[in-house]
Structure 1
Amino acid sequence: MSDVRDNVEDQRFELEEQGHTAFAAYTIEGEVIAFTHTVVPSSLQGMGVGSRLIEGALAAARERGLKVRPECSFVAAYIAKHAEWRDLLA
């Protein structure tokens, strides 16, 4: 998604909304990106911000040819609910 940006320096994908930033932290080892932690500020919860963030992060991983290891429960649950991303699982 065009709104989601990869903050390479901080190793996290970010999505800014209403002056707040949601993020999904990651590490990359070889061809595998591990999503370790997702944070959605309380003021943004329930608005689909986390889902948009993860969709953008997964799209970026696919574009780069990376496999995904969802260490974060939010990312794991998102992939479980959206079969179109399961081919990315490491």
Structure 2
Amino acid sequence: MSEHPDVSVRKNEAKGQYEILVGEEVAGFASYADANGVRDLPHTVVDPKFRGQGLSKPLMKAALDDARAEGLKVTPSCPAVARYIDQNPSYRDLLA
């Protein structure tokens, strides 16, 4: 988990992304696009000053958990998301 106790993730539908916050600051995001029951996750970014702190994992977990809750399949176009699913087999059932 992250080195920050005040980490949260929110879905920003206006921007089409999940955002991970450290306090009130957006430390990174995972973009998404939904079409035909499939959520594409094409891009994950963590701000350079927050890299190496484990923030991408809770960000990807939130996006995948949300897709599952919404009954969507997932296309992990982002290599980091594909790697996360590979390392966490409980998400493989989401693959489109």
Please classify the TM superposition score into its range, dividing by the shorter chain length. Answer: over 0.9
Q: TM-score, normalised by structure 1?
A: 0.92
Counterpart position of 1:9: 14
| Superposed structure 1 runs of 4+ greater than 4 Å apart | none
Aligned counterparts of 1:76 and 1:83: Cα–Cα separation in 2: 11
**Alignment correspondent of 2:95:** 89
Residue of 21, 40, 48 corresponding to 2:46: 40
The alignment's C-alpha RMSD in Å is 1.4
Which structure: larger Rg?
2
> What is the TM-score when the length of structure 2 is the normalising length?
0.87
Query: For structure 1, which runs of at least 5 residues remain unmatched after alignment?
Result: none
Q: Distance in 2 between the 1:28 and 1:21 partners?
A: 23
CA distance in structure 2 between the partners assigned to 1:34 and 1:86 by the alignment? 14
Match of 1:78 among 64, 84, 90: 84
